[in-house]
Structure formats: structure tokens, C-alpha cells
Chains A and B, each alone.
Chain A
Amino acid sequence: MKPLSIGFVIFTLALLGFSTYQALVVAPTEQTMGDVQRIFYYHVPSAWVAGMCFAVNFLASLYFLWRKSLDADALAVGSAEVGVVFCSIVLITGPIWARPVWGIWWTWDARLTTTLVLWLIYVSYLVLRRFAAGSQTQTIAAALAIFGFVDVPIVYMSIRWFRTQHPSPVMGGGANSGLDPTMLHAFLWNLLAFTCIGICFIVARYRLQKMENALEAAHAELALKGMAQ
């Protein structure tokens, strides 16, 4: 690993320690919800990182289709996988918060449902990659990535309309209307830390994919040489 990236990893870990301290100790306890509200410092930044990953996946897929660059494809795989992980964190931390606060684990409200559909779309992208054969994988995966990304605003719009038509018993807004300055402070530190750790993961996965590509190319070349002899 290059010194620059080691430095960045150390910086990120220090930042993550600091932001955890901010979220769990420094930020005041929420009056009505109690300590469970602190999950918000992890839940929202994870959602942000997931969104960032899916945007990177979309741009990398577009670039791949344009230039057929295998590096862009490696970035697309990396960001999709990291995005699914963070999206899973969002879907797990959400219900943990919702159970004590709303009284139920899950409600089919617009934001929850959109996140779930988003997760389904990118899991299907990863499944397609796993089962696609040979060198066409990158192209068909990139095509699906574009479909997935284009679908997201339509999903959100339609689910919002669907749910406002049939109001559910629990209409939950976020906890973030008028945030206490100390809470906002802790939240922003966590947002920064999660963004950095997200970037670390994407870069690590991107490099791994590039190594796998190089290994595969080397194997192919070796096999060709073997044929020639």
C-alpha cells in the first residue's frame, strides 16, 4: 500500500474514534427518545455513504460503457458492494431505532420502502455479476447499473404517492427537524468519518478487483503461451 493511503486509513480511524466519542459521550441525550436516538449518528451517515456509492457506481458504469475501461468497471464493482453493505446497515439500524420510538419494527413509508427497493436493485446487480459468464460480465452489469440508477427517482416518487394516498398509522418524519447544536456537531463529525471510511473501503475493493483482473489476464496469457509451445 502506498504511504498516502496508509496515512488516509490512519486519519480515518482516528476520525472514527473521535466521532464515536462525540456521538456516544459528548452529544446530549435526546429528551423523549433517550439513548436510542444516538443510532441516528450512524444511521444517517450510512445512508449518505450508500447513496454516494451508488452514484459512483452509476458514473463508473457510464464511463465503462463509453471507454471500455476495466478500471472503471473495478470501481463500479467496488462501489456497488460497499454501497450494499452500508445500505444494509441503514436497513438494520432503522428498525432498531423504530421499535422503541414508533412501537413497530417496520412501516411501508416512502423512505423506508425506497431504501429497501434500492437495496434489492443493487443486490440484483451483484447477483447478475456473480452469474454472468466471461468477458461480457462488465457490459451487462454496466447496463443494469444504469437501469437501476434511473429507476431510483421513479421508485421514490411512486412510493411517496402510493403512501400519501393510504396514510399508514405511523407517519414518521426524521428526528432532525431543528437539531441541537451539539447534536449537529456530533452528526457532522460522524458524516465526515463515515464518508472517509466509505472511501477507504471503495478504494481497497477497487484495488483488489484490479489485482484480480491482472491475475486473470496473467493466467490467460500463460494459457496462450502453453498453447503456443
Chain B
Amino acid sequence: MKDPIIRICNVFFQRDDKIILNDVSMDIQRGSIVAIMGPSGVGKTTILRLISGQLQPSSGSIEVNGKQISALSRHELYECRKDIGVLLQNGALFTDLTVFENIATPLREHTDLTEEAISERVLAKLESVGLAGTQELMPHSLSGGMARRVALARAVILNPKIVLFDEPMTGLDPIAMSTVGRLIRETNDQLGLTSVIVTHNVEQMKKLVDHCYILASTKLIAEGSPEALMHNTDPAVDQFMNGRVDGPISFHYQNSSSNSPVDSS
């Protein structure tokens, strides 16, 4: 049964004269892991920012957990964000706080838990991401993979309904990449989350996600399971999924405000 927790309907978004998204629609089902893929600069992170209410669409609507994000006041938006965890590309840990304090921050801000209860939950979450014993470390002493896992623990500490991941695998070695991938799957299934992952890592996504959306030059060009997309005969989808140099998706920067979805030449 279809039960979308995020509904993006005919969204159009432009920055100055440049069109970023043109008539993009997505229904992201509750409990699933969804990937938004596409070449760099195509507007994948913009979609995450639209979902989290950091950006407003030029037209179209975005419904998250039954609420129209663009119609919310600042206070309502902040209330809505308590149900959304976000893992930013670099982790964005607070550099002057320890690992423990980083993860405890949302709990201290939004709950009335005692110090003992906060400590228990933070240590349990650290254990679940495989970083027990690191609570006193400062962010600068963590490796990229460890920082990403701490950020994941912080993103899910309030048990949100949705977690947004902005390129969670970028810059990680293959082992760290697999570890983060496994953690995303385990966290999603154990906590009953909905995970939206922005990425261009096709190999990792084939193993991890339930459903993929592919964007190219402002438009949504395909969607489906990773297997279905691997066998998609559309030239643009085939080029992206198989990493081909030649194809309709242009390698060169297009500065036109009316750039076509794919190169028609």
C-alpha cells in the first residue's frame, strides 16, 4: 500500500536566472530508503534543502509528514524539523564540543531528560554506530568515516521519522563507505525511518536503496529500483548508471537559463 511521507509535486526552482529544477515530482514512501542521483550540480542537494524547508520552491508544493513545508512559520518549521534528521556532506559537527556533547545537543535542546538519561541514550547511540569509547574525543581527532558516523548518531538521536543524507559516502575509503552504508540500512530498519540519500555513487546505491530517482539537467529523467534502472534503455539513464563519457548528459557547464533536460544533439 502506498503511503508517501514526502510528496514533491511539480516543483520548479530557480536561482537568479538559472533554472535548477523544472517540474520535478516525487512520492517518497514511508519506511523506504530512497536515492536521489544525478551528475554533480544537477540540483540533488537543492531537493534536500527544499524538503527541510531551507529553500522555498518558485512554484509547486512540498508536503512532509502531511505538512506543506513552504506554508509553515519559522516556529512551525522548527517543530517540523524535530521529525527530520539531516546528515550534511561534511558531518558539520560542532568543533568546540566533544563527541558526547555533539550527540547530546538535540536532546538537551528539545527534551527534559535528566543528565543520566541523556548519557544513557548518547552512549547507546554511539555503541550502535560502532564508536563506543569515543565520547570524550574532539571532532578534529576523528577520521572522515568516524565523523560521518558521529553525525549519523546525532541525526537520529531524537528518533526522527525522516533522515536526509547529503552525499554520505563522499571522501570515504571503501571500508568506511560500506560501514556507513550498512549503518544507514540498519538504522532505517531498526528505527522505522524513511531515508533520503543524495549521491552519485551508483555502486553503493545498488546495494543499499529501495528506490532511485535520477535527475539530469533540471528534470527528473527516470525512477525505479536500482535493478530496473540498470536495465533502463534510456540513453541518459544508461550513460549515468554505467558512467559512460559519451551520451546525452553534457559534461560541460551549461549557463543558459533554458537549458534542455538532456543534450538533444
Q: Is chain B a partner of chain A in the same complex?
A: no
